[in-house]
Structure 1
Amino acid sequence: MRHALHFRRPVPGAHRDGDGWTLTWEGAAVMGILNVTPDSFSDGGRHAALDAALAAARAMQEAGVLFIDIGGESTRPGAQPVPAHEELDRVLPVIRALQGTGAVISVDTMKPEVAAETLRAGAHLINDVTGLRDPQMRAVCAEAGAPACVMHMQGEPRTMQRDPHYDDVVQDVHAYLHAQAQQALAAGVPDVILDPGIGFGKTLEHNLALLRALPDLTASDHPVLIGASRKRLIDFIAHVPDAAERDPGTLALHLHAARHGAAIVRAHAGAAHVQALRVQAALNPT
């Protein structure tokens, strides 16, 4: 399956398309996670130094990861907010150092002011776990000509896992994503990616229901991202308490997502995902 994402700004690997640029790819692409935080749930502190972050980014690119998603604020359950200036101090040096390397840079942020500064510094898209609820975030992306990943989250990181409840999780989440997508496009955002927010305000049963219902979501006109990397649902299913040991379970979930039309999988183990997805694609009938 071929996927496309539209920009109104130049992007490495994209082709000129009218008044914008279109990035296309076949099958599920990998978005590599690059957390430059001290407290992310499975890799906090590993890439806090600039040299370590750039080495990780280079390794992702060499492996064939399409997007590099840079985050300067943890969104793990119970995470405390970080001031915008501190988040920018973490992510801007990495974004600037990656200019000219051919990396397609995503920034994982909830703050419009961080999104604006990082796009000015050379980032290409915004990954907003709050789903562009803030009109300012929509305005920032629209003005910069940058697409955004619209994610569903019940509540906010500090409280999202306190007894999450839905009338119908699939219907509720899909309706929210489609409504937010329409709102973003109407505000001038050039394109959106839909993310059901695995692990963000959901129980194990909620997460499994959303993963099983992926064909309904991927039938839409927008690319779908699944980010289940090292999440707690793998522990619930396979009894793996150490998040760093959950890559096999992550691969199983992400291969399922790719088989059911996901355009992007967001992962810590980028090289392993590229390899597994290539093998899976070779097994599929042409």
Structure 2
Amino acid sequence: MAPRSRPTARQVRLGTELRRLREAAGLKARDVAGLLSSTSAQMSQVESGFAGVSEERVRRLAAHYACADEELIGALVAMATDRTRGWWEEFRGVLPPVFLDVAELEHHATFLREVVITHVPGLLQTPDYARAVFGYMVPELPDSELTPRVEHRMRRKAVIERDDPVPYETIVHEAALRIRVADRKVTLAQLHAILDQMERGHVTVRVIPFDTDGFAGASAAMMYVGGPIPRLDTVLRDSPNGTTFLDAESQLDRFRTLFRKVERASLDPSQSRDFIHRLTKEL
């Protein structure tokens, strides 16, 4: 089978976990290549996500690495055998691959936790709000690129609106709620949309007001994506250079702690709902 030209983030993660198991066993790629009747180069392709791997091979590798974590092995098998072609595939070749990777990651998530400081969370944005955000990019996007970005962002909401929704908790700074990315009408509609989503039992929104003492987490923006087991969690962070996927255990521990710190600085869900209601009256 020819190598993939561009593996998805999920495929890369599977390869990364297999590499971590091998390294934990103190083995080199060449030491295990023969087990699969392959070469070191082919093992490298598997561990980088450029080549697929069957359930049988995942289990053989795990046994060879003396991995006794059945939950982890089962999760890796599920990743290796998953053939889901979700709605995001409609955007392949239309949007940058990272858009598809984010949607696929959210689709498979067991929970989602997010911290946003300057923009309303993407999963809660209205079409007009999203269009204003994407429309501010430099260089300016033509409509042929802007429209699919907005559509993709709207369709991502499926994870919190489907019959088996993903539990979603977001912490939003007051700045994100007050900044008018478009005009008063768009801002007011956006606030009402957030309040509507808060009526869903699985959507939790917490607000950090400007006058909160002791909040120095302006750089804490992130999306924390729960995996089938904690070891397979992922953190997404946006920067001017794009979206970064973080999954080392030390990184995950750091962002779990950071989320708890930010959560302590926020209002509880009931207070947050009242806070957003007051903002709508001010507008």
- TM-score between the two structures when normalised by the length of structure 1: 0.28
Rg comparison, structure with higher value: 2
* Structure having the larger proportion of residues in strand: 1
- TM-score between the two structures when normalised by the length of structure 2: 0.29
* Structure having the larger proportion of residues in helix: 2
